[in-house]
Amino acid sequence: MLRWDTLLQLEDELDYSLNREVLDQLCLYDPSRGYQPNPGGQARFWQEMGGFGPDVMERRPYRTMGLFGGVGSGKSYTGAVWAIDRAIKYPNAKGLIAANSFPQLAQATLVTLAEACLQYNVPLDPIRDTPEETALAIINRRPSHCFLGPDRAYVYVLSTSSFEGNRQTSRGLQARWAWLDEIAYASEQAFNTIDGRIGRGSGKELDGSILMTTTPKGFNWCYYRMADPARSEEWKKTFWFVNCPTRENIEHLGQDYVTSLEGNYAGEVGKQELEGLFLNTTLGLVYKWFNRQKHALQGVDAEILGHNPGERLHLNLDFNASPGVANLFHIRQQEIHCFQEFYQMDSDLWELMEQICEWLEKRKQVAEIWVHGDASGRARSATSKLSAWDIVKQNLDQTRIPYQCKFPNANPPVANRIDSFNWLCRADRFFIHMDNCPKTLKDLETVTWDGEGIDKSDLLATHCSDALTYGTHWMFPFGGSNRKVRAGHKPIPGVT
């Protein structure tokens, strides 16, 4: 009879021989049968990674790297290879594979992962007869996860929606690396939460690293982190990306398919969907007539928008706890010149108004201020005897600068505010200071419709544009007056 220690030794020897066999079969790094990046964007990505091979373990200077590509460009396939590479080299480090929805995961992202594992003989658990069945098997696990590579690295599989909203059901996750597929179509809040989870847990030999593979979505939050020349120096050291055009993958797609795509995606949409470029395509955008090339100024050009303490000033407010926001504009020759914004996280209206009043006094504002904002701010709650407008007035009273509150008895329909603003942009009568108003500019370029109204799923978005359009609609309501005119007063004409 065999002793237990003998049986354990035999089991260990069997496991070693099986693992050796698996490693011998694995051909990911094989020069002739393994993965070969396409010339262009894919090759530049791996060059920035320090190269592609079994011995490349060098840590890269960028925490978050991006492949921004077109339809069929191979960006997601490169993401799958990158995830496999992480799992093989750092099996003790947990990973995360996420996409903007579970259907995206089941029908595309995980299918691509299963195809790559099949092609290069990379162990994947669970595994089924086809890549599509494997993807569904992973998704149907509770919680969704898989084991990747010969040493069975643990990989979370989640939708970015689990990192959004008030619940954020996956907030406690800890992982060392993350592949985020089509992340441009998820919210900035989701990315921020994921970013805070990566670089924690076991596998300390690997620094936190994130790969984003996605088609751009206009000038949204991805642009402001990855490509905006005005982004902070810290973001320039943290984020890096490369374009991966569809045509670079023509060897795998075929000329007929690429030609068909180029016929379907023409003009600006084609530059985004096929070349992976950041463009304002206006698809689904609320402020579709705003164009940064026309209406956003910076440097010397923006000096004409600057503050003049002797001119009437328009202060626009949106009553919100976090972020607390406001912006300022002058009206000159029937043009709106927006030159300053205020944006405070984890704040309240008292703190916001203190900052605004300090700014006004420091810049010696003497001319009258017209204050615009949310009409619902006049309501008092059961826990406070002061309304939002009471707080605004108390703070402005202390500056002794003359002011008037200019807001209607009830808020106009949202569509009316938007029509008024879009018409100003269409007539080239709105201009904004890019450097002084980054959050407002971001809203104007990224806020979209959700089918029933403005998409409010991103809790950090829409507030600056809401504040601004309260003021622009009051001053220039499209089609005429937006309020009842009291006896003896003349209406301010709208844009006609």
Q: Which amino acid is at 484?
A: K
Highest mean pLDDT among 182-186, 216-220, 268-272: 182-186
229 Cβ partners below 8 Å, 6+ apart? none
pLDDT at 265 over 80: no
The superfamily (CATH) of domain 34-273 is P-loop containing nucleotide triphosphate hydrolases (3.40.50.300)
At 15, the pLDDT band (50, 70, 90 cuts) reads very low
**In the chain, pLDDT over 90 holds for what percent of residues?**
52
pLDDT at 46 over 80: yes
Residue 245 and residue 73 in contact, taking contact as beta carbons nearer than 8 Å: yes
- State the average pLDDT over residues 488-493: 47
- Of 340, 343, 333, 354, which Cα lies nearest the Cα of 307? 340
- State the average pLDDT over residues 207-212: 94
- Domain 34-273 shares a fold with domain 292-475: no
Q: What residue segments make up the domains of the chain, in order of their start?
A: 34-273, 292-475
What is the dotted CATH code of the domain comprising 292-475? 3.30.420.280
- Of 184, 166, 183, which Cα lies nearest the Cα of 457? 166
406/445 Cα distance (integer angstroms):
27
pLDDT at 86 over 90: yes
- Of 366, 322, 365, which Cα lies nearest the Cα of 347? 322
> What is the DSSP code (8-state) at residue 412?
P
Q: What is the mean pLDDT of the chain?
A: 85
Window from 276-285, 376-385, 404-413, 426-435 with minimum mean pLDDT: 276-285
pLDDT computed for residue 475 by the predictor: 95
Better-scored residue on pLDDT, 136 or 485: 136
Report field, pTM of the whole predicted structure over 0.75: no
